[in-house]
Structure formats: structure tokens, C-alpha cells
Amino acid sequence: MAIADELKADVQAAMRAGEKETVGALRLVLSELQKAAKEGSEDELAVLRRERKRRLEAAGAYRDAGRDDLADGEESEATLIGKYMPAELSEEELQGIVTQAVSESGAKTVKDMGMAMKQAMATVDGRADGKRVSNLVKAALSG
């Protein structure tokens, strides 16, 4: 089942249960998925990653402004979106991917980080945050 179809079913279930916040969040994500499909993008996971990242960034901004109530709402939406994404890689799995990417790309110094990042991110395929990957690649190349 495509992610959009799963979201439609979950929107209906949330409507029946009277969960207004869940319905609103799922409708926004579903709308973004439909807009991306209309524009010719078939990568549903990229849309989910983008929307989740937006929610987390907004939550951080709200926390910085002292609006914990709004930050909690954004974080709950990010968690909800995360349920439709593949499981995150463990630290050990990610370290193995980074080590392999660094050796296969031929990167030797931090200046070569782009080559290793490109290879690592292709292998990770959305199962880990880019910051986590970047930190591990940087540590592998500088250490």
C-alpha cells in the first residue's frame, strides 16, 4: 500500500475517532504528497522527510521563543509523520555504512567529505538524519 493510501485510511479513522489534531496533521501531509505527485515526484519518503524536518525546525524555533505549548504540538506532528517512515538506523549500523562509504569513496581528509557523504546518504536512504551522518563522516575523516 502506498503511503498516500495509508494516510487516507488513517485520516478517515481519525475523523471517526474525533481526533481533530491528528486529522489536521495527516491532511497537511497528504496534501503535500498529492502536490508532489502532481508535480511528477514519485518519492513519497522525500516528502515525509521534508515535512518531518519542517516540524522539528518549527518546534526548535518555538522552544527558543519560549512557546513550549506550540513546540509540543509540532513535535507530536513530527512523531506522527515519523510513523510512516522506515525505521531509523542504529548507531552501529550507521557507523558501518559510514566506514564503508569513506573507504569506497577514497576520501582521505575533511576536504573530501562531499564524496563520502554522497555515498553514505545514498546507502542510508532516509533511515538516518543527515546531521548524524555528517558528524560520523567528519569524525571518520579527521580521526
Asked whether the predicted pLDDT for residue 141 surpasses 90, the reply is no
Residue numbers of the domain that contains 76: 3-82
pLDDT at 29: 93
pLDDT at 20: 92
Whether residues 64 and 101 share a domain: the answer is: no
pLDDT at 7: 92
**Which of 75, 77, 82 lies closest to 60 in space, CA to CA?**
75
pLDDT digits (tens, 9 = 90+) for 89-140: 888 999 999 989 888 888 888 888 888 888 888 888 878 888 888 999 998 8
Asked whether the predicted pLDDT for residue 13 surpasses 60, the reply is yes
∠ CA 110-134-84, rounded to 5°: 160
Whether residues 26 and 68 share a domain: the answer is: yes
Judge residue 53's burial from the number of C-beta atoms within 10 Å of its C-beta, 0-12 exposed, 13-18 middle, 19 or more buried.
middle
Whether residues 62 and 117 share a domain: the answer is: no
Domain boundary among 59, 82, 105: 82
- The CATH number covering residue 48 comes to 1.10.1510.10
Whether residues 69 and 102 share a domain: the answer is: no
Whether residues 74 and 118 share a domain: the answer is: no
pLDDT digits (tens, 9 = 90+) for 27-82: 999 999 999 989 987 788 888 989 999 999 999 999 999 999 999 999 999 999 98
End-to-end CA distance of the chain: 44
Judge residue 126's burial from the number of C-beta atoms within 10 Å of its C-beta, 0-12 exposed, 13-18 middle, 19 or more buried.
middle
Whether residues 52 and 103 share a domain: the answer is: no
| Beta strands in the chain, from DSSP E residues, in sequence order | none
Domain boundary among 82, 103, 131: 82
Whether residues 95 and 74 share a domain: the answer is: no
pLDDT at 142: 83
